[in-house]
Amino acid sequence: MGRNVAALAVLSVLVAGITCQETTTLPAPSNEVAKESGICRVCSCKENKVDCFDQSLTKFFSKQEWADLKAFNPKEVDLSENMFTNITVIAELSIEVLNLSRCGIEMIESASFKDLQQMRVLDLSYNKLTKEKLSPHAFEGRFAPEEYEPLAAMRILNLAHNDLHSLNADLFEHLAELEELDLSGNPLTTIDYPTLIAISSLPLLKILRMRSCELDAIPEKFLHIPRYLERLDLSDNKLTAVPQELDETKNLVYLNLNQNKIVELDMDSEDYPGFPRLRKLEELHMCNMPSLKRIGAGALAGLENLQRLHMSFNPSLSYVDPKALAKPDEIGENYDWPMVKELYLHSNNLSEVDSRLLSRWDLLEKVDVSDNPYLCDCSTQWMVDILTVTVENRGGNSSLMICQEPIEMRGYTMKHLHDIHRTMRCVDKYGNRPERDGAILLGLLIGVLLAVPLMLGLMLMWRHGYFAWLGLRGPVDTSRAFYKRAPAEDNYF
């Protein structure tokens, strides 16, 4: 009997072990289950990324289909280049980056993203969203007893290239932590009051892009609230002057004003003033501006920390004052210059780059001043002697610094002039060309030497009547005309 009990006990242990082993090996890996869901049958699901790019999808996935992805634990979802027009509620997932660009989206259902509590980046660019159809409710978070909670992880929102003529004043009320906003390519035309309120409601905004929005002015107080703004892109608009409202951006380090209609920068002009004081600005872009002609003294003096200056492809820019960057002291006798590290002045209409534009050319890390119609005379001798060396040492090509004037120097490169140790003469300030005097005098001397014998020869021929056939009688013919022989029958006493 005891033996039977012992055997039964051993058998029970073996059965339990087998049962336990089968229990631990039955479930399939979570990713394999997720990959069999509806979404992953249509899209590529690999390494926590769902790639549905350009799959000709016409209907947005249902909440249940999204829920089936939970085991896959997606971090990035790309649904761009599809054809669904409406966005509906997405199930609770760990998505951090969601790309919904270029889908023709017209409507976003309220609280569509409320369960995406880890979403940091949302791309809605190149769709058909309007102010009327883009409601603040689209960005609602989860519902709390008193209000909707924000999408706390959201940091980057891209609304570029939609059809937004204005923004709802409360559009970003659920995106209090937003740091980057792109509104480029929307036909805003003007920043109206609701738009101003909407952007001003983002106190932690660091990056604002408003490229190609047809803006002709920046309203007052527009940049007052986003005190932490670091990067601002206002390129390809219709601004005719540097916005003085930039004075509100105390932490701005990057500014792009490319492709605007600014004519000049002059600290003494009300219509075209220079830059206000931007003490932290490190990088400025003012390129591809066909109307820009002149940069006056002190126009960039407010940029005390400027390190990278891009001012290229301005076909009318013919003058940059030597003290454009210099900031005078209270007396006006001493000046301070920013320690510029990168200088780009290529493809303008400059006849020279003044040596006084920077205080320390040797501190430059990158420099490009090529493709300008340079006047090669004594005023640009320093460019031949010093700047060409600086360009070459910084990896540039001084062979692209080519003389245009005077005519005798046209086509010469400054590198060649440096290599042959050429010392250039000065051009007269009244436009006279002393370097041509020798040739002119020699030409006059040759002309006189040739003219004198020619004139003497013509005089002799005229005196001897060789031009009578032209009606020009010489003195010999004239004297004969006054002499007449007396008749033979006349008697003389």
**What is the distance of C-alpha 193 from the center of its chain?**
28
**Model confidence band, residue 141 (pLDDT cutoffs 50, 70, 90):** confident
Take residue 61 and report the two structure tokens written for it: 């996935």
Within-domain flag for 245:
no
Burial 189-205 (b: 16+ CB within 10 A, else e): eebeeebbbbbbbbeeb
Within-domain flag for 419:
no
Within-domain flag for 366:
no
Choose the most confident range, by mean pLDDT, from 31-45, 250-264, 475-489.
Answer: 250-264
Question: What pLDDT sits at residue 328?
Answer: 87
Within-domain flag for 355:
no
DSSP assigned state of 413: B
Is the distance from CB of 281 to CB of 257 less than 8 angstroms?
A: no
Would you say residue 78 has pLDDT above 60?
yes
Within-domain flag for 77:
yes
Could you give the number of structural domains in the chain? 1
Q: Give the C-alpha separation, 270 to 201, whole Å.
A: 31
Please give the C-alpha separations between residue 444 and each of 347, 435, 441, in angstroms, as whole numbers: 41, 16, 5
Q: Give the C-alpha separation, 367 to 325, whole Å.
A: 16
**Model confidence band, residue 226 (pLDDT cutoffs 50, 70, 90):** confident
What's the CATH number where 87 sits?
3.80.10.10
Please give the C-alpha separations between residue 321 and each of 154, 301, 350, in angstroms, as whole numbers: 45, 11, 11
Within-domain flag for 205:
yes
SS3 493: coil
Q: Which domain holds residue 160?
A: 39-226
Is the distance from CB of 161 to CB of 182 less than 8 angstroms?
A: no
Q: What would the mean pLDDT of 89-112 be, rounded to a whole number?
A: 96
Q: What's the whole-model pTM score?
A: 0.80
What is the helix (H) or strand (E) element at residue 208, kind and residue range? strand 207-209
Digit-coded pLDDT (tens) for 391-444: 999 988 999 999 999 999 999 999 999 999 999 888 765 555 555 566 677 777
Strands (E) in 61-194, as ranges, are: 76-78, 86-87, 97-99, 107-108, 121-123, 156-158, 180-182
